[in-house]
Amino acid sequence: MKTPEKLYEGYLFDLDGTIYLGDELLPGAKRLVLKLRELEKRVIFLTNNPTRNPGMYAEKLTRLGLKTPPEEVVNTVVTMTGWLLQNHPEAVVFPISEEPLKNSLREAGIKMSEDPEEIDIVIASYDRGFDYRKLQIAFDAIWFHKRAKLVTTNPDRYCPLPGGRGEPDAAAIVGAIEGCTGTKCEVNVGKPDPIMLETVMGLLDLDAKDCVMTGDRLYTEIRMALDAGMPSAVVLTGETTAEDLDEESEENLPAYVLGRIDHLVPADLRREFGWEDA
């Protein structure tokens, strides 16, 4: 396994399978993040899930024993709001979403409507309150009035749940709207789209080459980092296994492979910090 030989200025982390698994921090995650902060490195946690706001993730990390401010968390609530403000600040949007996204749009002063005649953008998101009424509004805005375009918070088909189960995610809502309107979703602001990384880089004020993206999935965070020219590391505590890496072609592989997350710190420094057990 190839691990970094130097420290970077910014550290971007996926959450599930990388920092925690379900309701437990993964081995080495806490001391790694605390040490990086102590060394004044920038730390950001990234997730595609739009059903919570950054504060709720910060609370979860804090509850698990890793005290974290909301400013260190970026999810697709943040990236969708940022993308709209940057590209369509005057647009009238119809979010098919749960409350955290609507709250964020409201706070940002983005106009929302359920009137198909004035909707410019339909946002398909992970919405466990999705129903036929919402589908009809999207259909009328896109197909009948021929004015709205379709965008989504994240491309995930389903959200994994404990015990090998899952529940339909934003791609299910996109599929329903594409199916009846014949239109195609034009924008995705979640991993692996570069829009997500651009939003983060805007917050950090650092160059991509001075940061490292770490996660457990090759086709989301690692793909996004490779496309942006950012060094990346896959950690084998989540979805990806060592066998998966053997079968993968070179262009999809990150620079680093970690058995555990605190191997992001170079070996000589780990010795200096007394992390010999890692």
Question: Which is closer to Mg ion, CB of 95 or CB of 155?
Answer: 155
Which is closer to Mg ion, CB of 46 or CB of 142?
46
The residue to which tokens 């080459």 are assigned: 209
Residue 223 pairs in a beta bridge with none
C-alpha to C-alpha distance for 7 and 5, rounded to whole angstroms: 7
Nearest distance in Å: CB 93, Mg ion: 28
For the chain, how big is the Rg over CA atoms in Å?
20
Taking the C-alpha atoms of residue 49 and residue 47, their distance in angstroms, rounded to an integer, is 6
Q: Which is nearer to Mg ion, 16 or 72 (CB)?
A: 16
CB of 234 to Mg ion, least distance (A): 10
Through-space distance between the first and last CA atoms of the chain, rounded to whole angstroms: 14
- Closer CB to Mg ion, 142 or 159, in the complex: 159
Binding site for Mg ion (CB under 5 A): 14, 16-17, 216
Q: Which is nearer to Mg ion, 17 or 192 (CB)?
A: 17
- 3-state per-residue secondary structure call for 195-229: HHHHHHHHHHCCCHHHEEEEECCHHHHHHHHHHHC
d(CA 184, CA 165): 28
Shortest reach from residue 12's CB to Mg ion, in Å:
12
In angstroms, what is the minimal distance from the CB of 222 to Mg ion? Answer: 10
**45 or 83: CB nearest Mg ion:** 45
Comparing CB distances to Mg ion, the nearer of 156 and 216 is: 216
Sign of CA dihedral 253, 255, 259, 260: negative
Residue 135 C-beta: closest distance to Mg ion, Å: 30
Residue 16 CB, shortest distance to Mg ion, in Å, is 4
| d(C-alpha 142, C-alpha 154), whole Å | 20
Burial of 39 (0-12, 13-18, 19+ CB in 10 A): exposed
Q: Which residue is nearest to Mg ion (CB)?
A: 17
Task: Quote the least distance from Cβ 237 to Mg ion, whole Å.
Answer: 9
